């Protein structure tokens, strides 16, 4: 598996003119080697030459955590070694280098002064289009993560979780506990935005007590088997029925989200999927209130290529996995969002989140 990935990476390095890839912090390293670097002042770096053997330079005290794989050898460095010199020696005479987008500036700056005639590129120029296309195993991992998140959505929709009278922070913590109970090893976020806070897409759940007769946006996700979940459902707290203008807003959003999922067909430019959702929301009279892109790619990272946004003409490929998450927001008043993870396949768009999309009325 990772042998095949490494071959694809080497082929792409040759294609884009990179002599050596230097992977440190970020998702590229675990994607390729199964090992995730600790965010430490001690350098961890995979040196992967297009034409030579891959070597993982790792602090000696971290080496026991590296799982042996045939695709690379491990070069531990001791507390008195200079890790930058070790990396530079492995780079040798190669000069077209690509380094992890998330590598710390301190390491890049020291490498640059050690290798003054090197030309630097971001590793994403090599890895992004490869990572964006998920293989079967990755799609199934994403499907398991989404199914677990859907079980939490179902628990919220069924009324198992109390909203009214509790703070957003309490409901958020409960969503996190439930994600773990459903198999997530990590919770990345559990946004709970109630009343006016539902108009803030990345609201930080806080001390606000949830009231009757208001919308609540719940957007949550985490990691299961190394792959991310990310889903949003919007709720209305009971007492009385949703007001007619919120119902209208939600009907437009519902239609836009469904149509954008259906439009996510292989060969369609990413920006056209955004255009479908935006067109329906604009026709419904809420164009100005849809203040973000329609979606982002997802995999080992919550946000990665491809982005469904105007200006991205890249066509969808089989194996692309991304969110479809239009929203409508009236600042200071209320908002709503619906989000599913979808995979583009030769047979058409496959939605990994299938929890009901209707506005659920909860207590
Ligand atoms: Zn977001
Ligand atoms: Zn989300
Ligand atoms: Zn998302």
CA atoms of 109 and 235, how far apart (whole Å): 49
CA atoms of 111 and 117, how far apart (whole Å): 11
Ligand 2 centre to CA of 338 (Å) is: 9
Q: What tens-digit pLDDT sequence spans the chain (363 residues)?
A: 578 899 999 999 999 999 999 999 999 999 999 999 989 999 999 999 999 999 999 999 999 999 989 999 999 999 999 999 999 999 999 999 999 999 999 999 999 999 999 999 999 999 999 999 999 999 999 999 999 999 999 999 999 999 999 999 999 999 999 999 999 999 999 999 999 999 999 999 999 999 999 999 999 999 999 999 999 999 999 878 899 999 999 999 999 999 999 999 999 999 999 999 999 999 999 999 999 999 999 999 999 999 999 999 999 999 999 999 999 999 999 999 999 999 999 999 999 999 999 999 999
pLDDT of residue 2: 75
CA atoms of 206 and 167, how far apart (whole Å): 7
Ligand 2 centre to CA of 230 (Å) is: 5
Ligand 3 centre to CA of 208 (Å) is: 23
Ligand 2 centre to CA of 92 (Å) is: 43
Question: Which listed ligand is nearest to 295 at the C-alpha?
Answer: 3
pLDDT of residue 3: 84
User: What's the chain's Rg over C-alpha atoms?
Assistant: 23
Strands (E), 172-230: 186-194, 215-224, 227-228
Question: Which listed ligand is nearest to 232 at the C-alpha?
Answer: 2
Angle, helix 105-114 to helix 83-91, in steps of 10 degrees: 60
Ligand 3 centre to CA of 207 (Å) is: 24
Question: Which listed ligand is nearest to 294 at the C-alpha?
Answer: 3
Long-range contacts of 110-119 (CB under 8 A, 24+ apart): 110/84, 111/22, 111/84, 111/87, 114/84, 114/85, 114/88, 115/88, 115/91, 118/91, 119/95
Beta-carbon contacts of 81 under 8 Å, excluding residues fewer than 6 positions away, are: none
Ligand 2 centre to CA of 325 (Å) is: 7
pLDDT of residue 240: 82
Phi then psi for 320, rounded to 5 degrees?
Answer: -65, 135
Q: 73 pairs with which residues across the strands?
A: 55
DSSP conformation letters of 87-106:
HHHHHTT--EEEE-TTS-HH
Ligand 3 centre to CA of 149 (Å) is: 13
Closest C-alpha among 34, 42, 29 to residue 104? 42
Judge if the upstream peptide bond of residue 168 is cis by omega within 30 degrees of 0: no
Ligand 3 centre to CA of 302 (Å) is: 7
Residue in the structure block whose two tokens are 């079980």: 151
User: How many helices, marked H, and strands, marked E, lie in the chain?
Assistant: 9, 18
Question: Which listed ligand is nearest to 219 at the C-alpha?
Answer: 2
Ligand 1 centre to CA of 187 (Å) is: 14
CA dihedral 140, 142, 147, 148 (to 10 degrees): 120
Ligand 1 centre to CA of 201 (Å) is: 7
Query: Do 294 and 277 form a contact (C-beta atoms < 8 A)?
Result: yes
Ligand 1 centre to CA of 295 (Å) is: 9
Ligand 1 centre to CA of 204 (Å) is: 12
Query: Do 362 and 157 form a contact (C-beta atoms < 8 A)?
Result: yes
pLDDT of residue 241: 86
Residue 210 DSSP code:
P
Beta-carbon contacts of 347 under 8 Å, excluding residues fewer than 6 positions away, are: none
Ligand 3 centre to CA of 111 (Å) is: 35
Ligand 3 centre to CA of 45 (Å) is: 30
pLDDT of residue 1: 56
Ligand 3 centre to CA of 338 (Å) is: 10
Ligand 2 centre to CA of 324 (Å) is: 9
Ligand 2 centre to CA of 229 (Å) is: 8
Domains of the chain in sequence order: 2-131 (3.40.350.10), 133-362 (3.90.230.10)
Question: Which listed ligand is nearest to 291 at the C-alpha?
Answer: 1
């Amino acid at each position: 598996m990772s042998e095949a990935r490494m071959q694809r990476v080497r082929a792409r390095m040759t294609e884009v003119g990179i002599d050596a890839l230097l992977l440190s912090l970020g998702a590229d390293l675990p994607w390729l080697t199964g090992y995730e670097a600790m965010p430490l002042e001690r350098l961890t770096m995979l040196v992967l030459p297009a034409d030579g053997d891959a070597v993982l330079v790792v602090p000696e005290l971290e080496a026991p955590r590296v799982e042996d794989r045939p695709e690379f050898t491990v070069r531990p460095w001791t507390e008195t070694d200079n890790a930058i010199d070790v990396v530079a020696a492995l780079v040798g005479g190669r000069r077209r280098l690509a380094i992890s987008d998330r590598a710390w500036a301190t390491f890049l700056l020291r490498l640059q002064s050690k290798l003054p005639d090197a030309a630097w590129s971001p590793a994403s120029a090599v890895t992004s289009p490869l990572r964006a296309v998920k293989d079967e195993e990755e799609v199934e991992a994403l499907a398991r993560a989404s199914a677990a998140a859907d079980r939490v959505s179902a628990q919220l929709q069924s009324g198992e979780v109390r909203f009214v009278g509790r703070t957003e922070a309490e409901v958020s913590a409960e969503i996190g506990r439930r994600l773990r109970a459903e198999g997530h090893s990590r919770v990345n976020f559990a946004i709970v935005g109630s009343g006016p806070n539902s108009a803030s897409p990345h609201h930080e759940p806080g001390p606000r007590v949830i009231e009757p007769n208001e919308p609540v946006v719940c957007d949550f996700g985490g990691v299961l088997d190394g792959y991310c979940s990310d889903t949003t459902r919007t709720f209305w707290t009971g007492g009385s029925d949703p007001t007619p203008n919120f119902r209208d807003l939600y009907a437009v959003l519902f239609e836009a989200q469904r149509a954008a999922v259906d439009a996510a067909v292989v060969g369609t430019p990413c920006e056209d999927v955004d255009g479908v959702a935006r067109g329906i929301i604009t026709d419904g009279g809420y164009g100005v209130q849809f203040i973000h892109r329609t979606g982002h790619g997802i995999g080992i990272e919550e946000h990665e290529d491809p982005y469904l946004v105007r200006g991205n003409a890249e066509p969808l490929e089989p194996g692309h996995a991304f969110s479809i998450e239009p929203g409508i927001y009236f600042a200071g008043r209320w908002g709503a969002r619906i989000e599913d993870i979808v995979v583009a396949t030769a047979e058409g768009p496959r939605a990994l989140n299938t929890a009901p999309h209707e506005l659920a009325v909860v207590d």
